[in-house]
Structure 1
Amino acid sequence: MTTRSGTGRGRADPGLDAIMSERRHLINLAYRLLGSLAEAEDAVQETYARWYAMSRLQQDAIESPGAWLTTVAGRICLNLLRSARVRRETYVGEWIPEPLPERTEWISGRTGSRPVDPADRVTLDESLNLAFLVVLESMTPAERVAFILHDVFCHSFAEVAEIVGRTPAACRQLASSARRRIRDARPSTAPAAQRAGIVRDFKRAWEAKDLDALIGLLDPGATAVADGGGLATTFLHPIEGGEQIAHTWVELAGRRLSNMTLLERTVNGQPGLVAQQDGATVTVFAFDIADGRIKHIWVIRNPEKLRSWTTTT
């Protein structure tokens, strides 16, 4: 991915525009690797800082600046993933990936011109699903990087190996292990219209404090997880069971919905809900739906993870 030429002579200067045109691709990649837009932007900024720290002669020796940027960004993200495991041991409550509002640039990244192996491939929009990102959190950093780079962004295992620091064969095994985790998690396959209808029905039942309707919409084994990061009040431990979740949501309706506006919004490409107070987004709700019922609810209240919602809802 970082093949260098001898002198760089005869090759056109990539220029600022060509280098910066890679930024959207790098943000797409880094967000899926890290689950945090803020961390993704920091990783990309560090990637560009390393590029511009090189001399012009060093830059000219790089045959493919785009491949070089991807390699460096991948390595930075891998290091961040390793350190994140330590940081999250002191995180208050559950950690949920940062939710994104509906923005086409986050789901339309570049896959490149490489031939795509249809087996086990996932598309960019599928890889943005919050349920998908939650499964990624269960992977080792190396598994996550190998899987995202190969199965989502179509890089060869030889290219992945250069980033992960293992052999191509080892990277193939890492991606295979990651695929098994994805299959075992059985991500939602419900049609988009059905998912939207169920979320809408959930919103109405919640606003009406209709306990029976909520129970009917929730899978008996459903779970609800909240992320306040110690910066916003919420439940610290997962709530398990559809009936328990329904009772909790009815209680929340009595205490909080009176001064909030509940809106239907797209969350990471899927139907979700957003709670606003005085025009500011204070909570984002993401859902995983299968077999006509809600199986998981993710509640994001950490204000540091809601910054991208301030001008979009």
Structure 2
Amino acid sequence: MTTPSTDSLSELSGALKGSWHRFLDVYEPLRPELYRYCRYLTRSPWDAEDLAQDTMARAFATLGRMVEGPPNPRAWLFRVASNLWIDQMRRSRERLGVDVEPAASQEPRATREAAGTLLVRLSPQERAAVVLKDVFELSLEEVAEALGTTPGTVKSALHRGRNKLVEPEPEMPAAQAVPAALDAFCEAFNAHDIDRLTALLLDTMTIEVVGATTEYGPESARARILPGMLFGSRVMANPDPQGPCGFDPSFFRGVRPTLPRAELRIHRGEALLLSWYEHEDGEAVRAITRLELDGDRVAHIRNYFYTPDFIADVCRELGVPFRSNGYRWWR
């Protein structure tokens, strides 16, 4: 078997990045509505952001296999998100060994469209139909397009969904004691000690700037992502329009070069790291970090920086001020 050359891989990577950037030029303006739709489906900021990211990736891959682009990009993006979410619900229920009840329709696609129920009240199809029609005010035809079905099936789903009890908000999990490793990470962050931070990382760890980049291993984290988390405010305070950092200066007016401070907060039962940045008119959160532990070491870091809808959602629930960094990690 022939191994691809380094030049071939670099050329492929460059071509994919160019195509991805052009894809986002068209679909990124729909990102706020996509997140809002995913939020209604999942009812969780974390799951909504994951679903929105997965939807964009799936849409990009699917578009590359289509003969013609979708005539209604908004409805099509909702359709990709709906299919992913319904599949997730079905797999989740199958893992739990819960019977999947089909909708009261004899159409061939009815079983998949109504795959599973959500808290025994709304099936995924019913929930998606109600959200698209009543929240996003799509026409029956647009809802049918977004769900890959017919207006008649949509009418049935709307009728069933609206006649069921309003689903209560899920109970928040009880807050657990903050592990010592998270306290240690927060202290090292606030000391801006990259050596201490690196020492807390598992050898097989993964670090993500969600939606932007992923690195593997402590040395890659130390070289490429941790410096931005610790010292990026200096660049934000004086962004170079011609520089390689990717910052859009319009998002960083009023930012001071003071290094950010981290604060551990409990949100929906989980300990999060809020990154506070100084501005001319006071402090505000510009990034949120989730850490997964393996024993007393950090196994996975997810840094939410270029996720404005998610940051706004979580910060509003916590009642703290926030600022947007936009979606782009390039200009």
Confirm or deny a common fold (TM above 0.5). Answer: no
Larger RCO, structures 1/2 (Cα 8 Å, 6+ apart)? 1
TM-score relative to the length of structure 1:
0.42
TM-score (norm 2): 0.40
